[in-house]
Amino acid sequence: MERKIGDVLVRTYLGDITELAVDAIANAANSDLWMGSGVAGAIKAKGGIEIEEEAIALGPIRPGESVMTTGGKLPAKYVLHCAGMPPGGKATQWKVISSVQSALTIASQHNLKSIAFPAIGAGVGGLSEYDSAKAIVTGVCHYARSPQSVKEITLVGLTKYVCECFRKAIDEREE
């Protein structure tokens, strides 16, 4: 699926976020920024421990904030660490929305053009895939009202179901 929201092209992608050659990928992070399992673990495994070391040096941050590191060995140049939850805690839709908006602001400050977001706050974060998708799409739609440098956003699902959640959330925002 590809859809224009304002001047921003939003698409869904079924697959592994660590394989995307975009300016930045988002990490579903905790506010201490250590990278354990899930998306964070996959990013660290493929991109290298230096991503985690760089992130931890920038933290801790509050849930709802984000920071940017280099992409290590990833095809993406940067990683935007979106803190949807505290360590051991649960994500909320508000924290996910806020972390997405923060990531898009940071990306724009660095003149990035393309970003990919996973289902932040789902899985270990405790949000359903659909609630995560709704929160991310809300953050993206807010950004698209006054977009800056980011013109392409990819919403990444590791499963077809997560991609369907993103599509449904976009459809509901446009009604």
| pLDDT of 174 | 66
**Burial of 167 from C-beta contacts in 10 A (0-12 / 13-18 / 19+):** middle
- Copy the structure tokens of residue 93: 């839709």
| pLDDT of 126 | 94
In which band, very low, low, confident or very high, does the pLDDT at 123 lie, cut at 50, 70 and 90?
confident
In which band, very low, low, confident or very high, does the pLDDT at 155 lie, cut at 50, 70 and 90?
very high
Name the residue ranges covered by the structural domains of the chain: 2-174
CA 84/CA 89 separation, integer angstroms: 10
The mean pLDDT value for 10-30 works out to: 97
Res 124 pLDDT > 90: no
**CATH number for domain 2-174, candidates 3.40.220.10, 3.40.190.10, 3.40.50.1980, 3.40.50.1100:** 3.40.220.10
- Copy the structure tokens of residue 78: 């940067």
| pLDDT of 175 | 54
Res 37 pLDDT > 90: no
